[in-house]
C-alpha cells in the first residue's frame, strides 16, 4: 500500500522532504489520557503489549490525537528475551524484573533463538492490525533493543544506574557475553525481518544503555552486533539510537543504517560532521516540554535551525516523560510542522 504521508521514509532514505517529519519516542503511552483509559481495562503493561487489538489501538492514538508523522508499534524491547526463554514481569513501582537471570554459559545455551512467527506472533499481528487501520496515512515504525542493552537486563535482571552486574560479566566472562550477544542478535534479526515483512516501514534499534560503556567496550560488545543487524536488514530503513554513545558517532557513520538518533547531550553541528552519511533524528531535551509554550516553540525552532530541513527527523532526545502535558507535546509537533514549511 502506498503511503499518503511518507515524509519519514523519505527523510530516512536521504531523499528530499518538503517539511521535516516529526514523531516522539514513547508517544504511545502514559502522556495520553486515552492510553491510560485502555491501560486501566487490563491487568498490566504486559497484557496490553501482548494483546494485539489493544496494542494496535494505543499505537494509533498519537496519530489521531497528536498528529505525528509516524506510528510506532506499542511493544517493549524485553519481548525478545522473553521469546528466548527468559520471562520478565513489569512492576509498576520498579520497572522490569527478571525472576531468572543469565549466570553461566550453560544458561546461554539453554536459551532459544527466538522464532518470530511462533514466539512473537502477537507483535506481528498487532503490526498487521495497525497497518490496516492506518490505511497508509503515515508509516509504521517497528523496533527492537540493541543486543548489548538486552544483555544488560538478562544478566542484571532489572534496571540499574550502573548495570555493574552486567558489566562485570563483560570483564570476567567475555565468552559468555559474546555467546549471549550472538544469540540475541540472531533472535533480533529474525524478529525485525518479520516486522518488516508484516508491514513495518522503518525499524529502530534502541541501545538504551550504550552510555555505560567505555569507547573500547562499546566497540567490542555493542557495535559489531548492531552492525550484524543492520547488514541483515536491507528491506527497510533502519535507525540506530544509542543513548549516551557520543564517543561512537564517527564509527556509527560506517554502519549499514539510514538514520542515527541523537540524545540532547550531543551537539548538533558536531554530530552532522561526525555522521555525514546519515539522516539524523532527535534531539530535544524531554524536559523542554515542561517549559511554557513560548519557550517550547523557541527551543524547537532553534533545534530545527541547527539541524537544517533535510536528512532530518524531528524528535526528542529520549522518550517523552510520562507526566508531560499532551498540549505541550502538540506544541512541539505543530512548531516543527509550521516552521519547517516556511
Please give the positions annotated as active site.
Answer: 26, 30, 39, 76, 153
Q: Which three cell numbers stand for residue 330?
A: 502538540
Which of 167, 264, 273, 268 is CA-nearest to residue 210?
167
Q: Which is nearer to a second copy, 276 or 294 (CB)?
A: 294
CB of 155 to a second copy, least distance (A): 12
Residue 129, judged by CB atoms within 10 A of its CB (0-12, 13-18, 19+), counts as buried
Residue of 290, 297, 309, 330 interacting with a second copy (CB under 8 A): 290
Nearer to a second copy, 124 or 268 (CB): 268
- CA atoms within 13 A of residue 166's CA, in its CB half-sphere: 27
Judged by beta carbon, residue 208 or residue 258, the one nearer a second copy is 208
Specify the residue, 87 or 292, whose C-beta has the smaller distance to a second copy.
292
Of 121-129, 133-141, 287-295, 330-338, the segment contacting a second copy by CB under 8 A is: 287-295
Asked if 293 interacts with a second copy (CB under 8 A), we say no
Binding mask 146-175 for a second copy (x = CB under 8 A): ---------------xx-x--xx-xxx---
Of the pair 145, 244, the CB lying nearest a second copy is at 244
Q: Tell me, by CB under 8 A, how many residues bind a second copy.
A: 31
Applying the rule CB under 8 A, the residues between 241 and 270 that interact with a second copy are: 244, 246-247, 264-267
- Sites for a second copy among residues 205-224 (CB under 8 A): 211, 213-215, 217
My answer on whether omega of the bond before 283 falls inside 30° of 0, hence cis, is: yes
- We find the least distance from the C-beta atom of residue 197 to a second copy, in angstroms, to be 36
Q: Whole-number minimum distance, CB 1 to a second copy, in Å?
A: 39
In angstroms, give the least distance from the CB of 117 to a second copy: 36
How far apart CA 209 and CA 160 sit, in angstroms, is 10
Nearest-approach distance from CB 339 to a second copy, in angstroms = 19
Q: Is 273 in the site for a second copy (CB under 8 A)?
A: no
Sequence-ordered list of residues with C-beta below 8 angstroms from that of 255, at least 6 positions apart, any chain? 223, 226, 227, 230, 240
Q: Which stretch binds a second copy (CB under 8 A): 39-47, 102-110, 137-145, 290-298?
A: 290-298
Q: Which of 117, 295, 327, 338 binds a second copy (CB under 8 A)?
A: 295
| C-alpha cell belonging to residue 94 | 520498579
Interior/surface letters 298-322, b for 16+ CB within 10 angstroms, e for the rest: ebbeebbeebebebbbbbbbbbbee
C-alpha 284 chain-centroid distance: 16
On the CB side of 28, how many CA atoms lie within 13 Å of its CA? 26
Instruction: Write b or e for each residue in 196-228: b if 16 or more Cβ atoms lie within 10 A of its Cβ, otherwise e.
Output: bebbbbbbbbbbbbbebbeeebbebbbbbbbbb
Stretch of residues binding a second copy (CB under 8 A), selected from 68-76, 77-85, 144-152, 288-296: 288-296
Tell me whether residue 164 or residue 254 sits nearer to a second copy (CB atom).
164
Q: Does 287 bind a second copy (CB under 8 A)?
A: yes
- For a second copy, give the closer residue by CB, 129 or 181: 181
Q: How far is the CB of 246 from a second copy (least distance, A)?
A: 6
- What is the contact surface with a second copy in residues (CB under 8 A)? 161-162, 164, 167-168, 170-172, 211, 213-215, 217, 244, 246-247, 264-267, 285-288, 290-292, 295, 317, 321, 323
Amino acid at each position: 500500500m502506498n503511503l499518503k504521508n511518507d515524509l519519514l521514509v523519505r527523510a530516512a532514505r536521504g531523499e528530499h522532504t518538503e517539511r521535516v517529519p516529526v514523531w516522539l519516542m514513547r508517544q504511545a503511552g502514559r502522556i495520553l489520557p486515552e492510553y491510560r483509559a485502555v491501560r486501566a481495562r487490563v491487568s498490566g503493561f504486559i497484557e496490553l503489549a501482548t494483546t494485539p487489538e489493544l496494542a494496535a489501538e494505543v499505537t494509533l492514538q498519537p496519530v489521531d490525537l497528536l498528529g505525528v508523522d509516524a506510528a510506532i508499534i506499542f511493544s517493549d524491547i524485553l519481548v525478545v528475551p522473553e521469546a528466548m526463554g527468559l520471562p520478565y514481569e513489569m512492576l509498576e513501582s520498579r520497572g522490569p524484573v527478571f525472576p531468572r537471570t543469565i549466570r553461566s554459559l550453560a544458561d546461554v545455551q539453554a536459551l532459544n533463538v527466538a522464532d518470530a512467527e511462533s514466539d512473537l506472533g502477537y507483535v506481528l499481528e498487532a503490526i498487521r492490525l495497525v497497518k490496516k487501520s492506518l490505511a497508509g496515512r503515515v508509516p509504521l515504525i517497528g523496533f527492537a533493543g540493541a543486543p548489548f542493552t538486552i544483555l544488560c537486563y538478562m544478566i542484571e535482571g532489572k534496571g540499574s544506574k550502573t548495570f555493574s552486574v552486567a558489566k562485570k560479566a563483560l570483564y570476567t566472562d567475555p565468552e559468555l557475553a559474546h555467546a549471549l550477544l550472538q544469540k540475541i542478535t540472531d533472535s533480533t534479526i529474525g524478529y525485525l525481518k518479520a516486522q518488516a515483512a508484516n508491514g513495518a516501514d522503518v525499524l529502530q534499534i534502541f541501545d538504551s544503555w550504550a552510555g555505560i560503556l567505555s569507547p573500547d567496550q562499546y566497540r567490542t560488545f555493542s557495535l559489531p552486533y548492531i552492525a550484524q543487524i543492520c547488514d541483515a536488514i536491507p528491506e527497510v530503513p533502519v535507525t540506530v539510537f544509542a543513548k549516551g554513545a557520543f564517543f561512537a558517532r564517527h564509527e556509527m557513520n560506517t554502519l549499514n543504517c539510514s538514520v542515527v538518533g541523537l540524545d540532547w547531550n550531543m551537539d548538533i553541528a558536531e554530530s552532522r560532521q561526525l555522521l555525514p552519511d546519515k539522516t539524523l533524528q532527535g534531539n530535544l531535551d524531554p524536559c523542554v516540554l515542561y517549559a511554557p509554550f513560548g519557550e517550547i516553540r523557541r527551543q524547537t525552532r532553534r533545534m530545527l535551525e541547527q539541524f537544517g530541513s533535510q536528512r532530518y527527523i524531528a524528535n526528542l532526545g529520549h522518550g517523552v516523560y510520562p507526566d508531560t502535558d499532551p498540549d505541550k507535546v502538540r506544541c512541539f509537533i505543530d512548531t516543527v510542522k509550521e516552521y519547517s514549511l516556511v
